[in-house]
Structure 1
Amino acid sequence: MNRKFIIDSLSKDIKYSEEQRQIIKSIEEAKEELSRARQYFDLVSNPSLVDYAIYMEQAAKSRYSYLLAEAKDKGVEIDTSYVLMALNAI
């Protein structure tokens, strides 16, 4: 699945402000960052690197939570029908 394509498609179909588009993009980036942090944790074995991986994951979770709260405050909503249309286009 090409997430960037889906996000771009959603942004074009729904009339978002530039600020809302940036929040959506940042949320997607934060999700990817969280995924990378979890993958890194699975790869390391050195205790110091495990600690670092834990801190990376916690920072990514905090950023993701913050961005979700910002999106809620700004009234950013994504209709599931748009997600389904974008997925079918892939």
Structure 2
Amino acid sequence: MKDLTNAGHGEGKVAKAIEEQTSKLPSDLFLWAAVGAIGVSLGLKIMGHKHNALFVGQWPAPFLLLGLYNKIVKLQGHDQEENLDEY
């Protein structure tokens, strides 16, 4: 079976810095941000602000994608090998 790790291919400085910061954020933050955006969009729609409601209504998908990225970083990020040494 083929080894799927990136042997010899490390993350760049920017990716490591981003992963270090995003891994500090709780995953629930992105879920609640998506739910909040849905609520704000609904409120704007009810108040008759159709265009603003559509604009804010597009935010949940990116929030959920960022949450997925956050979860992947926590589970498979560049420090995965370091975390395995702790066990």
Fold shared, TM-score > 0.5 on shorter chain: no
Which structure's CA Rg is the greater one?
2
If asked which structure has higher relative contact order (CA below 8 Å, sep 6+), I would say: 1
Structure-2-length-normalised TM-score? 0.43
Structure-1-length-normalised TM-score? 0.42
